[in-house]
């Protein structure tokens, strides 16, 4: 009998043959195709990146404040997270809610703890983003966070659907292109000859 095959690699080496010139040629031909398949996924990861964010507090946030975690967050923003943001452990404050202004206090223009009602939370009307990693992404430009997070997820789904449709239709488009070129060359050859 002969030696028993030890593993899958041994079978490939002994019976199929190792990587020869044809295998390397095929690898080099297919390498750009495989790399290009991953580019749309990589593009979506960076263009729709969601940086850490928080509510913009109208009376407290001013153009001169450049820090992402100012001291007024202690009395303007709740610390507990909603169910859609519970995995964001790095954020100390709820990125989607703020404490409501007490009636008549928001017109005062001052940022003091007594102007906020700690018993009532409201959704953010606008957001401040941590721009330390990316200056601007699609998520920050269109505010696709909190109540609009489903739009960012739908964007990823539409991209995947487009990739799937393109790969399915691509086969038929290539056949159509091949038939069209063949007919054109045949007609042109018959007219010229």
Mean pLDDT per block of 10 residues along the chain (193 residues) reads: 68 74 84 80 84 83 72 81 56 82 65 83 87 87 87 87 82 82 84 70
Domain housing 12: 1-47
Q: Using CA atoms, how far apart are residues 76 and 111, in angstroms rounded to an integer?
A: 9
* Number of domains observed in the structure of the chain: 2
* Same-domain pairing of 62 and 114: yes
Residue 146 domain flag = no
Res 85: pLDDT: 52
Res 91: pLDDT: 64
Residue 110 domain flag = yes
* Same-domain pairing of 40 and 113: no
* Same-domain pairing of 73 and 130: yes
Residue 39, helix vs strand vs coil: helix
- The DSSP symbol for 130 reads -
CA dist list (Å): 71 to 93, 175, 188: 12, 64, 77
Residue ending a domain, among 137, 159, 174, is 137
Res 109: pLDDT: 64
Residue 178 domain flag = no
The label of the residue with tokens 């609009």 reads 148
Res 165: pLDDT: 84
Residue ending a domain, among 114, 137, 160, is 137
Residue 72 domain flag = yes
Contact criterion met (CB below 8 Å) for 73 and 177: no
* Same-domain pairing of 66 and 130: yes
Residue 60 domain flag = yes
* Same-domain pairing of 112 and 63: yes
Res 151: pLDDT: 87
Res 176: pLDDT: 84
Backbone angles phi, psi at 78, to 5 degrees: -70, 150
Q: Using CA atoms, how far apart are residues 12 and 17, in angstroms rounded to an integer?
A: 6
């Amino acid at each position: 009998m002969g030696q028993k095959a030890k593993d899958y690699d041994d079978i490939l080496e002994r019976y199929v043959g190792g990587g020869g010139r044809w295998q390397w040629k095929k690898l080099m031909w297919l390498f750009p195709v495989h790399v290009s398949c991953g580019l749309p996924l990589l593009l979506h990861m960076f263009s729709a990146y969601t940086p850490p964010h928080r509510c913009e507090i109208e009376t407290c946030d001013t153009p001169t404040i450049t820090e992402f975690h100012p001291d007024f967050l202690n009395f303007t923003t709740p610390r507990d997270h909603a169910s859609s943001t519970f995995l964001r452990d790095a954020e100390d404050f709820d990125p989607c809610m703020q404490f409501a202004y007490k009636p008549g206090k928001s017109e005062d223009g001052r940022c003091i703890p007594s102007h906020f009602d700690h018993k009532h939370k409201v959704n953010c009307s606008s957001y401040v983003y941590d721009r330390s990693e990316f200056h601007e992404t699609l998520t920050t430009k269109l505010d696709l966070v909190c109540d609009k997070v489903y739009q960012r997820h739908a964007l990823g789904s539409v991209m995947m659907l487009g990739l799937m449709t393109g790969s399915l239709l691509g086969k038929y488009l290539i056949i159509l292109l091949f038939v069209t070129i063949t007919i054109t060359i045949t007609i042109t050859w018959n007219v010229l000859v």
